[in-house]
Amino acid sequence: MSDEANRTTTDSTVIPGLDLDAFEAWLQEHHPQLLAGPLSASLIAGGRSNLTYAIDGGVGPWVLRRPPLGHVQKTAHDMAREFRVLSALQPTAVPVPRTVLFIDDPAAGVEMPFYLMERVDGVALKLRSDNRLFTVDQLVSLSEELATTLATLHSVDPASVGLEDFGKADGFVERQLVRWGRQYEGSRNRDIPDLDALQGELAERIPTTMYTSIVHGDFRLDNALVSNDESGMPHIAAVLDWEMATLGDSFTDLGLFGLYWNLSNFADMPESVVATSVFEEDGYPSFDRVVEVYAKAAGIEVPDLSWYLAFAAFKLAVILEGIHFRFQAGQTVGDGFDRIGSLVAPLARAGRTYLSRKA
């Protein structure tokens, strides 16, 4: 989140979603020990959901996370849950930023609950051009480290970090289908036959859950920050965007990981809209190799993931349809939202293709 290229700066003390003057005054009154000077803020561009800001002027460089403007559905964009899981994972081997403060007070400059965390130095591999920062061997090493990181997360005993009540693992997949179906209905504004069909096909083939754990809910390469260690070698410095974390079927994380990994290979995906750095011809390993590394690190056998990959396609399509809905209502901040809706139907078709391979 320290990537300067990903920031949209402003000279105003009032930027979309954040009244900086009010925030600084609130800190001065309630937590003056956190201030080192006048605050400044910049909107970190690229986010399609929660709004994320770089904050300077505190005792350390911070990131502020808040829900998007408008159309916030129940259970979506839950900052308290994200803050809780990040705080709980601090003592584990899962790399996460240090949490600073959770705030639920409209007088603090944000009309909704939000939180502060440390700003971790690093870059996110979002675009193909980002691969030029690394050698092929480094891209392979980062890929395998990310797979091992997911296995590490799934190996954390929820009770050992105070998250035994963070979700209900039993019936998780069934509830997820219902939840994302409701999200879809709440954002429905046009006909998407393949997405409707995918929803029905998923319901007909629900798999038996084999492993449960803490799940990230949006695990992918560009939700990780990469930094160089003391020897100059790149490593995974932090995993970000925990708003969907809960307890559930471990393979839902692996399915979404795989969906994003293969995103550049899907038919009819508009290249000008898809943002991914993962191209095997640039040196990334296949997702099959990523799964092998995960399985070895987790000490488990991974079954056919077709259903989980298809469910991931449905989930992502619904998320993007929600963003498209907010764009249509004029409730988005930043560039590129006008093209997000074009990804939904190709994702739905990709999901149906995954299921047809399983059939």
Considering only residues 119 and 268, tell me which one the structure prediction assigns the higher pLDDT.
119
Please report which confidence band the pLDDT of residue 333 belongs to, taking 50, 70 and 90 as the band edges: low
The pLDDT assigned to 335 comes to 64
The pLDDT assigned to 9 comes to 44
Residue 295 clears pLDDT 80, i.e. is over it: yes
Side-chain-facing half-sphere of 111: CA atoms under 13 Å: 6
Cα gap 12→40, rounded to integer Å? 9
Angle between helices 306-328 and 250-261 (to 10 degrees): 70
Neighbours of 201 (CB within 10 A): 18
The pLDDT assigned to 142 comes to 97
For the segment 77-110, what is each residue's pLDDT rounded down to a tens digit? Answer: 689 999 999 999 999 999 999 999 999 999 999 9
Please report which confidence band the pLDDT of residue 358 belongs to, taking 50, 70 and 90 as the band edges: low
Averaged pLDDT score across all residues of the chain: 89
The pLDDT assigned to 20 comes to 95
Q: How far is CA 243 from CA 170, 215, 217, 231, 322, in A?
A: 20, 11, 8, 33, 16
Please report which confidence band the pLDDT of residue 12 belongs to, taking 50, 70 and 90 as the band edges: very low
Partnered with residue 35 across adjacent β-strands are: 58
What percent of the chain is predicted at pLDDT more than 90?
74
Q: What is the mean pLDDT of residues 17-37?
A: 96
Please report which confidence band the pLDDT of residue 357 belongs to, taking 50, 70 and 90 as the band edges: confident
Cα gap 280→285, rounded to integer Å? 6
The pLDDT assigned to 188 comes to 86
For the segment 177-189, what is each residue's pLDDT rounded down to a tens digit? Answer: 999 999 999 888 8
For the segment 45-83, what is each residue's pLDDT rounded down to a tens digit? Answer: 544 568 899 999 999 999 999 988 764 554 456 899 999
Q: How far is CA 288 from CA 118, 144, 148, 285, in A?
A: 34, 11, 14, 8
Ranges 4-13, 115-124, 312-321, 344-353: which has the least confidence: 4-13
Ranges 3-17, 103-117, 154-168, 239-253: which has the least confidence: 3-17
| Residue 6, token pair as written in the block | 């990903």
